[in-house]
């Protein structure tokens, strides 16, 4: 299962649709707070695609909380922010980063080659 945490509805739906057509089960949330509620309620994502700039809790704040609730989840930051800021966030959190617009082939390769939790 791939958790998509993205505040832009169009991006959220597009990612969910594209991943669904590639055979992935997805759940979506428009904020970090909503995503944490979903995980606390039983969602068990193997991957989390997380926008860096979310309303309320930022992606940088969200990822450690998600990892605490779901150890072993593979978070991936997705954002249209400056490349330097993305790289810094990725280094700080030790996670993969993808720039928007997300390249579907690159995303699928990342999901396929990483080792998700069961």
Q: What is the mean pLDDT of residues 19-27?
A: 95
**Tokens read off for 112:** 């396929």
pLDDT score, position 118: 36
**Tokens read off for 15:** 């990612």
Q: Does a structural domain hold residue 81?
A: yes
Q: Does a structural domain hold residue 85?
A: yes
Q: What is the mean pLDDT of residues 42-59?
A: 93
Q: What is the distance of C-alpha 1 from the center of its chain? A: 11
Euclidean distance between CA atoms 88 and 103, whole angstroms: 20
Domain that holds residue 90: 2-111
Euclidean distance between CA atoms 44 and 99, whole angstroms: 25
Residue 91 confidence class, pLDDT cut points 50, 70, 90: low
Element holding 87 (H helix, E strand): helix 83-93
- For the domain that residue 27 is a member of, what is the CATH number? 3.40.50.2300
pLDDT score, position 100: 82
Flag the least confident range among 23-27, 62-66, 72-76, 113-117.
113-117
Q: How many domains does the chain have?
A: 1
């Amino acid at each position: 299962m791939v958790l998509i945490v993205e505040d832009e509805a169009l991006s959220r739906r597009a990612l969910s649709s594209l991943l669904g057509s590639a055979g992935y089960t997805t759940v979506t949330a428009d904020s970090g707070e909503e995503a944490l509620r979903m995980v606390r309620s039983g969602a068990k994502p193997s991957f989390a695609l997380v926008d860096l700039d979310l309303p309320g809790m930022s992606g940088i704040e969200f990822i450690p909380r998600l990892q605490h609730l779901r150890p072993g989840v593979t978070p991936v930051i997705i954002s249209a922010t400056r490349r330097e800021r993305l790289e810094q966030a990725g280094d700080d959190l030790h996670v993969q980063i993808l720039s928007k617009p997300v390249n579907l082939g690159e995303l699928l390769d990342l999901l396929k080659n990483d080792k998700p939790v069961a």
